[in-house]
Structure 1
Amino acid sequence: MVVCLAKPEESPETGKKTAKREGSIKKKPAAADDQEKDNKIMFFIGDSHAFNLDDLLRASAEVLGKGTFGVTYKAALEDGAIVVVKRLKDMHVRRREFEQQMEVGGRMKHENVAPLRAYYCSKDEKLPIYDHYSRGSLYSNLHDKGERRAPLDWESRLQIGIGIAQGIAYIHMQNESPLQSTGGGETIHLVRWVQSVVREEWTAEFFDTQLLRYPNIEEEMVEMLRIGMACVKKKKVI
């Protein structure tokens, strides 16, 4: 599930790599007896998109990001529509279980959760499909240093953080089970990294130095860090 303003990830494998990392979405061949079922994209009721698997495979695809669960792509369809496709990898879940979880995701309606518009599922491929947000990812809004935008101030970041927390809380209330991945590839576990720094001493190493120009801001950031650490603390089972 994608929370609004979270980092857009990358799209399915690109064919030919270019400087812009563009190509097309590829899929592995399905068995003949499964081909008819596997070629169908499942849309949720009320969705206005009108495209099929062939349209998706012909789409120009740009990698948006990579994560533990796969690659996220921005796919530009021939009719001009733009969607975001997450290509899940190494998912240890049966097809029926995956479809059930997609159905749960399709019913979610919350202003801080990106709506799941459709999905594609075959033996070899599992592709959730979302709307594309043109304002970019949270990561790019925080770290882009180009002339397109000014750095987000502390109050804006607090409001974004609260919105993300509300979206995650809503997802947890839906009894959405997490999909399991082998976690292949090199990834950074943000919580463990912050915990390791905190164990050493309170430090500004993980604070954005752009914010330190505001007066008395470090105390507020430390307090927010304490709240975040409390939220991810594991409960001991007796």
Structure 2
Amino acid sequence: MSNVYDHWERLVGAVIRREELWRMFHDQSPSVSSIPSDCSLDSEVLDVPFDFSSPRSSSSYQQLPPSAVENLQKKEKSAEEEEVSGLVFVQGFSPVFDLDDLLRSTAQFLGEGTFGSAYNAAMDNGITVVLKRLNAVNISEKKFRRQMEVIGNVRHENVCALKAYYFSKDEKLLVYDHYSNGSVSALLHGNIGKKQISLDWKSRLRIAVGAARGIAYIHTQVGQNLVHGNIKASNIFLNAYGYGCVSEVGLATLVSSAWTRHSQSSGYYAPEVTESKKLSQASDIYSFGVLLLELLTGKPSMLSEGNDKAIQLVSWVASIAPADWTAEVFDIELLMYQNIEKEMVKVLQIALICVESVPEHRPKMSEVSRRLDDIIAPHEGRGVV
């Protein structure tokens, strides 16, 4: 799949228009979900046998009865008008672009996540945002908009804010700020198994502290009942000061069928989640503990043992005796820094409490955040910031 798409409008609109064509030629109209999931957006889906760039003048329409042509054109015009006017900005964010700007932007494919595909969308006005296209979302418009209001009200310097969203039968789009430093997963592990940049101990502490603050704040929302549900290194980004920022707040409860398919193999989900399929703030804390282990070890949440076998990072760390932590557990790149071993041990102890198998034995996120603040305070010179 090409990483750059110069005609974003065709990317998003092709699926909808293709379904319209099916309706014209077949007795039963297949849903968008019936299109194979492995379709390449820049080839198979876009390589349709009709010219969509100018529907009124397309010679393909001449093969249809006049009434069918008129009907299809009306539907496409209605869909286009809905798309242009359908982008909803969260309260507090100015509508400095519209859906038409977004769809005409140059988009760089970032990857396929638990809930859908993510793209960097660079618009002609110089604004770059992250666009999330949700997959397998079977939800009413009313419920979707209500959930977006909840997510949109989560405002904190260590939480990636939802700026805008779009809802239609076939497309659910979310717009977030763009973070130029990329995700923690990319920084730690890179795209080809190598680190892209070296993260020193202070940088990793800031990532941990920022993410902890963000999650602690999330847990105070909606009567202290809001759950993130999908905390992992690829959902943590770095702000301008190098502190971790948490993204994809609240999507796990919106797309509950998606995360259950990934829970067994991701290494981030707590044992009770894989058994009961129920998320909680305690399971968020477990996932954060796995993130801390990644920052300490430099290893991913699932380790390969060969012969297509894998072991969870939590299990691997637990198998190593405390006396061997320094030599076996900590990332070798961290060992070159002096006078940080005690701090690493303290963070490791916090991580191990977070990944306790019994949910009730895990600390609250506010307590985890406070303990990490105490560790980073000497590095900041003027105390916790």
Determine which of 182, 194, 197 is the counterpart of 2:258: 182
Q: How far off is 1:205 after superposition?
A: 6.1
Identity of aligned residues (%): 44
Where does 1:202-221 land on structure 2 (aligned, <5 Å)? Answer: 202=321, 207-215=330-338, 217-221=340-344
Is the 8 Å Cα contact of residues 159 and 214 (structure 2) preserved in structure 1? yes
1:22 aligns with 2:8: no
Does the 8 Å contact 1:41/1:118 carry over to 2? yes
Gaps of 5+ in 2: 21-74, 227-249, 269-289, 291-300, 302-311, 362-385
Are the equivalent residues in 1 in contact too, given 2:133–2:172 (CA < 8 A)? Answer: yes
Rounded Cα–Cα distance in structure 1 between residues aligned with 2:319 and 2:340: 22
Distance in 2 separating the partners of 1:70 and 1:208 = 31
Cα drift, residue 119 of structure 1? 0.4
TM-score (norm 1): 0.75
Q: How many residues align?
A: 216
Between the aligned partners of 2:360 and 2:183, the Cα distance in structure 1 is: 35
Contact 1:89 1:181 in 2 (8 A): no
| CA–CA distance in structure 2, aligned partners of residues 159 and 78 of structure 1 | 34
Q: Where does 1:112-151 land on structure 2 (aligned, <5 Å)?
A: 112-143=158-189, 151=198
Mark the CA change 1:87 to 1:232 in structure 2 (over 3 Å): closer, same or farther: farther
Stretches of structure 1 that go unaligned for 5 or more consecutive residues are: 1-16
Matched with 2:199 is 152
Residues 8-44 of structure 1, C-alpha deviation per residue, up to 9 Å, x if partnerless? xxxxxxxxx43xx111342431885984556501012
Distance 1:215 1:109, change over 3 A: same
After superposition, the Cα gap between the structure-2 partners of 1:29 and 1:141, relative to the gap in structure 1 and judged at 3 Å, is same
Is 1:68 the counterpart of 2:114? The answer is: yes
| Preserved contact between residue 83 and residue 99 of structure 2 (Cα < 8 Å) | no
Q: Give the whole-Å Cα distance in 1 for the aligned partners of 2:148 and 2:330.
A: 36
1:196 is matched with which residue?
A: 315
Structure 1 stretch displaced more, 101-110 or 206-215: 206-215
User: Which structure has more helix as a fraction of its residues?
Assistant: 2
1:230 match = 353
Q: Which has the higher contact order (CA 8 A, sep 6+)?
A: 1
Distance 1:163 1:236, change over 3 A: closer
Work out which of the residue numbers 199, 215, 219 in structure 2 matches 1:172: 219
CA contact (8 A) 1:74 1:84 kept: yes
Aligned to 1:8: none
- Structure 2 CA distance for partners of 1:172 and 1:124, relative to 1, 3 Å: farther
> Which runs of structure 2 are paired with 1:26-65 in the superposition (5 Å)?
26-27=12-13, 28-29=15-16, 32=75, 35=79, 37=82, 39=84, 40-65=86-111
Residues 92 and 181 in structure 1, CA contact (< 8 A), matched pair in contact too: no
Per-residue displacement from partner, 1:91-135 (whole Å, max 9, x unpaired)?
354332221121122222211112211001122222110111223
Query: Structure 1: how far apart are the matches of 2:161 and 2:153?
Result: 9
